């Protein structure tokens, strides 16, 4: 802005030699509420923010979601201030009672939020001062909004990790239950979306549960690392008051206070970690959703989604679309975008706090919300879908899924596997040219390709036999799948 131009007046700047003019509308020239002038920001400021700057600056529409955590942190801080003699016991109790009352008002939806007070912290503090007077003005002793918001955000994220982890567990429980129901059903296993080898449906479903188990672990691992308290770091360099940071850390359920005040107020690594875990989870949910979309298609007909998790067409009455699975697949991009948003926000920030960090909450909240909804939807969709065992068995008869059994049969009799692989491939070509399955070829057809074949080769081509022969840890043999189900149920406890 040009020197000497009154605040709110038209002004111009020069960018790459071009003159850019700005004429603020009358409603944006000056804000008048006393709350947004020097009463909020101290004696240095004599003029109020313009309306456009106030709107640009305000974050309360987003960060009011931190109100429960802000109140918890303020109560812990006030109790500590009473312990070190900054507050009297009566003042600390008045603060506690006032904050509890404000929290209940917020929960009922009766609290009036003001953009002029900028954020959740100032809104709550202003309401507290209105209720209890001078004691409320003492609450901010020894702290800054920098350590206050860092503490609130860690508390919120910790709670969100716990809730999301439990929703992952709920989906896993449904998947494991469905795996137990379908342990006797066989289906084609795929590579490159081409029919490859027979597996048990339960074995395939347990693969989903394993993917989610890593997401669960990543989320709780990130939660463990974020569980340190920034409270008492103040703006960046701590405070001259003899704060008991261990006391507030314990009161808020943190493992310990953060070790460096500069880093504590400027750190958002913990958001990157949890959002990366959420992005990974969203990708897994998308992959599961893709299989549900494919399996429920007319071309596959492996499952039928329930009416509660499908929609119809506005023009084609026969349609039953797997929209919930498709939306889960589609929403993955938003979670990945939240991670990128955070990384780009952080990449150029010097220590300690910078106002850019105001932009960390929206992507974090959206990532958690999106993953939560996707987990809820898929839990219901998978719990209510029906499996079409007959169509799965029919799919096993096409695509030569038993070709590997021929190669293994020969290898067990001393034929080098690469040679056995070529023999099996020639038999597949022969069967395809005759429009037969491998089981429909004659023994003479087999012996024409290799003299080792005898009648026992046909027993090896049975799909159930093929699956049961894969009796290794992590394999699809029935006893292995049943053992995996029981082991998983122990994990879920």
Is residue 341 very low, low, confident or very high in pLDDT (cuts 50, 70, 90)?
very high
Residues 115 and 75 in one domain: yes
Q: Does pLDDT of 23 surpass 60?
A: no
Q: Does pLDDT of 100 surpass 80?
A: yes
Is residue 167 very low, low, confident or very high in pLDDT (cuts 50, 70, 90)?
very high
Distance CA 186, CA 188 (A): 7
> pTM of the entire structure?
0.88
Residue finishing a domain among 370, 394, 418: 394
Residues 123 and 173 in one domain: no
φ, ψ of residue 190 to 5 degrees: the values are: -125, 145
Domain holding 236, by residue range, is 154-246+255-394
The answer to whether residue 45 sits within a structural domain is: no
> Which two structure tokens, joined as six digits, stand for 289?
């959703």
Distance CA 157, CA 465 (A): 50
Determine what percent of the chain is predicted with pLDDT higher than 90. 86
pLDDT digits (tens, 9 = 90+) for 381-434: 999 999 999 999 999 999 999 999 999 999 999 999 999 999 999 999 999 999
Q: Does pLDDT of 32 surpass 80?
A: no
Residues 274 and 374 in one domain: yes
Q: Give me the pLDDT at residue 56, please.
A: 83
Residues 191 and 86 in one domain: no
Residue finishing a domain among 339, 366, 394: 394
Task: Provide the β-strand partners of residue 20.
Answer: 13
The answer to whether residue 434 sits within a structural domain is: no
Catalytic residue among 38, 39, 88, 313: 313
Q: Give me the pLDDT at residue 40, please.
A: 56
Q: Does pLDDT of 220 surpass 60?
A: yes
Element (H, E) at 29: none
Element (H, E) at 191: strand 186-191
The answer to whether residue 29 sits within a structural domain is: no
The answer to whether residue 482 sits within a structural domain is: no
Q: Give me the pLDDT at residue 41, please.
A: 55
CATH of the domain at 130: 1.10.275.10
Domain count, the chain: 2
Residues 131 and 202 in one domain: no
The answer to whether residue 419 sits within a structural domain is: no
Degrees to nearest 5, angle at CA 71 with 65 and 74: 135
Q: Are 267 and 350 in contact, with CB atoms under 8 Å apart?
A: no
Determine whether 297 is an active site residue. Answer: no
Q: Does pLDDT of 21 surpass 70?
A: no
Residues 134 and 273 in one domain: no
Q: Which of 359, 381, 373 is nearest to 278 (CA)?
A: 373
Q: Give me the pLDDT at residue 54, please.
A: 78
pLDDT digits (tens, 9 = 90+) for 223-241: 999 999 999 999 999 999 9
Determine whether 203 is an active site residue. Answer: no
Residues 128 and 193 in one domain: no
Q: Are 209 and 172 in contact, with CB atoms under 8 Å apart?
A: yes
Task: Provide the β-strand partners of residue 229.
Answer: 257
Residues 165 and 291 in one domain: yes
Place of tokens 């037969």: 436
Q: Does pLDDT of 42 surpass 90?
A: no
Residues 97 and 206 in one domain: no
Residues 73 and 130 in one domain: yes
pLDDT digits (tens, 9 = 90+) for 429-448: 999 999 999 999 999 999 99
Q: Give me the pLDDT at residue 52, please.
A: 85
| Residues 6 or more apart in contact with residue 338 via CB below 8 angstroms | 275, 278, 279, 363, 364, 366, 367
Residues 167 and 221 in one domain: yes
Distance CA 250, CA 232 (A): 13
Q: Does pLDDT of 295 surpass 60?
A: yes
Catalytic residue among 78, 192, 296, 314: 192
């Amino acid at each position: 802005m040009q020197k000497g131009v009154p605040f709110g007046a038209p002004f111009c700047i020069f960018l790459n030699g071009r003159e850019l003019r700005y004429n603020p509308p009358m409603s944006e020239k000056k804000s008048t509420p006393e709350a947004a002038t020097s009463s909020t920001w101290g004696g240095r400021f004599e003029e109020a923010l313009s309306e456009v700057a106030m709107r640009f600056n305000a974050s309360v529409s987003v960060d009011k979601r931190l109100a429960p955590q802000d109140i918890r942190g303020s109560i812990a801080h006030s109790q500590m201030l009473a312990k070190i003699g900054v507050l009297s016991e009566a003042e600390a109790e008045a603060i506690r009672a006032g904050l509890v009352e404000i929290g209940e008002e917020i929960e009922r939806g009766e609290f009036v939020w003001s953009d002029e007070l900028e954020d959740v912290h100032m809104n709550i503090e202003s309401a507290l001062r209105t209720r209890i007077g001078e004691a409320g003005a003492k609450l901010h002793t020894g702290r800054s909004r920098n350590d206050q918001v860092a503490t609130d955000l860690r508390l919120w994220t910790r709670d969100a990790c716990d809730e999301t982890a439990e929703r992952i567990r709920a989906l896993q429980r449904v998947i494991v239950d469905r795996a137990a129901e379908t342990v006797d059903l066989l289906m084609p296993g795929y590579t490159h979306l081409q029919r490859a080898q027979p597996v048990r449906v339960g074995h395939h479903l347990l693969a989903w549960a394993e993917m989610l188990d890593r997401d669960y672990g990543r989320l709780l691992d990130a939660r463990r690392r974020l569980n340190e308290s920034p409270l008492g770091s103040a703006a960046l360099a701590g405070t001259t008051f003899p704060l008991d940071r261990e006391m507030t850390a314990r009161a808020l359920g943190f493992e310990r206070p953060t070790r460096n005040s500069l880093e504590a107020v400027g750190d958002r690594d913990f958001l990157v970690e949890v959002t990366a875990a959420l992005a990974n989870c969203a990708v897994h949910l998308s992959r599961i959703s893709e299989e549900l979309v494919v399996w429920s298609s007319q071309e596959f007909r492996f499952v039928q989604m329930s009416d509660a998790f499908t929609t119809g067409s506005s023009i084609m009455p026969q349609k039953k679309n797997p929209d919930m699975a498709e939306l889960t697949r589609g929403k993955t991009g938003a979670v990945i975008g939240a991670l990128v948003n955070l990384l780009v926000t952080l990449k150029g920030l010097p220590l300690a706090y910078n106002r850019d960090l105001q932009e960390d909450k929206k992507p974090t909240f959206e990532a958690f919300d999106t993953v939560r909804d996707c987990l809820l939807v898929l839990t219901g969709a998978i719990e209510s879908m029906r499996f079409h065992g007959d169509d799965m068995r029919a799919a096993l008869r096409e695509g030569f899924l038993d070709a590997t059994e021929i190669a293994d049969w020969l290898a067990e009799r001393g034929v080098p596997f690469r040679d056995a692989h070529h023999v099996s491939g020639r038999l597949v070509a022969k069967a395809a040219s005759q429009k037969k399955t491998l089981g429909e070829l004659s023994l003479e057809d087999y012996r024409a390709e290799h003299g080792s074949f005898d009648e026992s080769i046909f027993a090896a081509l049975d799909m159930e036999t093929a699956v049961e022969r894969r009796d290794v840890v992590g394999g699809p043999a029935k006893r292995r799948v049943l053992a995996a189900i029981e082991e998983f149920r122990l994990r879920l406890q």
